[in-house]
Chains A and B, each alone.
Chain A
Amino acid sequence: MEWVIVAEALTKKFEDLVAVDKVSFRIRQGECFGFLGPNGAGKTTAIRMVQCVSPVTSGKLEVLGLDVSSRQREIKSQIGVCPQEDNLDPDFTAWHNLLVYARYFGIGREDAEKRATELLEFMQLTEKKDVAIPKLSGGMKRRLVIARALMNDPKLLILDEPTTGLDPQARHLIWDKIRELRKGGVTVMITTHYMDEAQQLCDRLVIMEKGKILVEGSPRELISMNVGAGVVEILNPEDGVIDLLRDRSLTFERAGDRTYIYTDDNRQVRELILREMPASNVFIRDATLEDVFLKLTGRGLKD
């Protein structure tokens, strides 16, 4: 089977809000597919429909070749979910969290113990085996949630903001583990607010806003299509600079004390500016996914 998820005109309406609005996307087997977007864009709602806990309002949604409205148990038995908010069972230790979770999948005691031992090792939590959940750090909880999501050996792993609030060490460990899992053939669906995370992990991604997909592509494609290869930043630009940019019909954006110029040749643009206005404070850098994101979704706060 080539497509792990097929969504066509997928829509989710709540009483007074269209959270996901006729969205179409396909996720290939073995790829890491990202959902980016400001808060309230519809990423988590889309994920909840894929994991069969939120009913689809209209449109088509197939996961692992099965329809989400009629084959929920079969789909859920083959996917692993790492939710945005930790929902580990605080009444148990790390070890029992994994065993109790395995029971929900109907995994036998012996297999569950073997798998739990492997996964604690894999997520570097073996010494924390007998620690109660409230005593684990944020990073440890996150790793345990991922270990738990892997108990049923899923074909599709759904990660909703897997590294939010973690320190750099924990983030890098989680990234390494996600890459390792992908080598084993697991398909990954991920949401994140961190553009470096998306750039690091995703083969393809979509940027969503207000329930719609704005763009879809690989990180590299999205950058070159939407902003070009480089960015020039000018700190506190004089009025003359803006006129100059307009004259040369360069694409630019003003935000706070900065002006951002999106161009394939940022060195040449910097030289141009410095030639005309030698006193300007100009930096150049490579364009990132963050530039794409901010350009498409705007710089204003979303909530």
Chain B
Amino acid sequence: MSLLSQVSRRSWAVWQRNKDVFFFTWKTNFLPPFLEPILYLLVLGFGFGALVTQLPPPYDQISYQQFLAPGLIAISVMYGAFFECTYGSFVRMHYQKTFEAIVATPLTIEDVITGEILWGATKSLINASIVTLVVALFGLASFPGILIIPLIAFLGGLAFACIAMMFTALVPNIDSFNYPFFLFITPMFLVGGTFVPLEQFPAWVRDLALVLPLTQVSIIVRDLCLGWWMWEDLIGIVYLLVLTAITFYAAVWMMRRRLVS
């Protein structure tokens, strides 16, 4: 466990660096997460949703828009951290040599990776909060559940950030990120309890989907939006915590192997 002993509070300075850059260019950063869910809600929710007459139980009492809205929040959790810790981190590591500059200071490479992951999760929190606000304005989310959503977004964001960082430690060049996006993120985006209830899928797809982190985030966020909070959601939270712990350790180890020679 000596790897983890190299992580310190100084990783906060890396988080602050990324936060500063984000707020210097806040106009370009805040608009997409605000506009995107509106488009999805209008086109898919109200357009396509009008064709949906009846959802399967347990969703038979709600509209398609009510089903879709939490899915959009969950998707913003996934993309927020995954984009940040793949493309964003890779650019800082490879092109800008930012990591190299930071490890010349009292920070270790483990601090840098931890700071990047914390920032990735923060991006999930920010994006998901904006989408939650939009969804609430459409009347598709209820108090007090939506107040807990940012916390779930941060937790889910941590898991996605760690997984993204593992890919960043592996890819030979920036174009290679097409693979994790095509093979992992896009299928998850479609089957992760986002647009279609899991109950619609064949049993094997449903079982597979339940292992995906996005599915767990979707389920928890949907229960929070609809006020359906129940103890099964705790299983999802424990799952995300365990996944984060394992992938965090793996990401730091793999990054160390890539960068320290």
Which A residues form the contact surface with B (CB < 8 A)? 14, 51, 53-55, 72-73, 76-77, 81, 83, 85, 87-92, 96, 100-101, 103-106, 152
Question: Which residues does chain A contribute within 8 Å of B102, judged by CB atoms?
Answer: 104
Known: A76-B105, A104-B105, A106-B106. A96 touches B20 (CB 8 A): yes
Known: A87-B97, A87-B98, A100-B17. A76 touches B260 (CB 8 A): no
A5 to B231, CA, bound (A): 60
Question: Quick one: closest B residue to A148, CB to CB?
Answer: B101
Question: Which residues does chain B contribute within 8 Å of A91, judged by CB atoms?
Answer: 21, 24, 96
Question: Quick one: closest A residue to B259, CB to CB?
Answer: A53
Question: Which residues does chain A contribute within 8 Å of B21, judged by CB atoms?
Answer: 91-92
The answer to whether B100 touches A103 (Cβ under 8 A) is no
Q: Smallest CB–CB gap between A126 and chain B, Å?
A: 22
Report B243-261 residues with CB < 8 Å from chain A CB.
Answer: 260-261
Which B residues form the contact surface with A (CB < 8 A)? 8, 10, 13, 16-17, 20-21, 24, 96-98, 100-108, 260-261
A89 to B20, CA, bound (A): 12
The answer to whether B10 touches A76 (Cβ under 8 A) is no
Q: Smallest CB–CB gap between B256 and chain A, Å?
A: 11
A73 to B101, CA, bound (A): 15
The answer to whether A72 touches B24 (Cβ under 8 A) is no
Question: Which residues does chain B contribute within 8 Å of A100, judged by CB atoms?
Answer: 16-17, 20
From the candidates A85, A89, A96, A104, name the one contacting B106 in the complex (CB within 8 A). A104
Q: Smallest CB–CB gap between A299 and chain B, Å?
A: 32
Question: Which residues does chain A contribute within 8 Å of B10, judged by CB atoms?
Answer: 104, 106
Known: A14-B261, A100-B17. A72 touches B108 (CB 8 A): yes
Known: A55-B260, A77-B106. A104 touches B13 (CB 8 A): yes
Question: Which residues does chain A contribute within 8 Å of B105, judged by CB atoms?
Answer: 76-77, 101, 104-105, 152
Q: Smallest CB–CB gap between B55 and chain A, Å?
A: 45
Question: Which residues does chain A contribute within 8 Å of B101, judged by CB atoms?
Answer: 83, 87-89, 101
The answer to whether B106 touches A53 (Cβ under 8 A) is no
Known: A87-B98, A87-B100. A73 touches B108 (CB 8 A): yes
A51 to B107, CA, bound (A): 12
The answer to whether B104 touches A51 (Cβ under 8 A) is yes
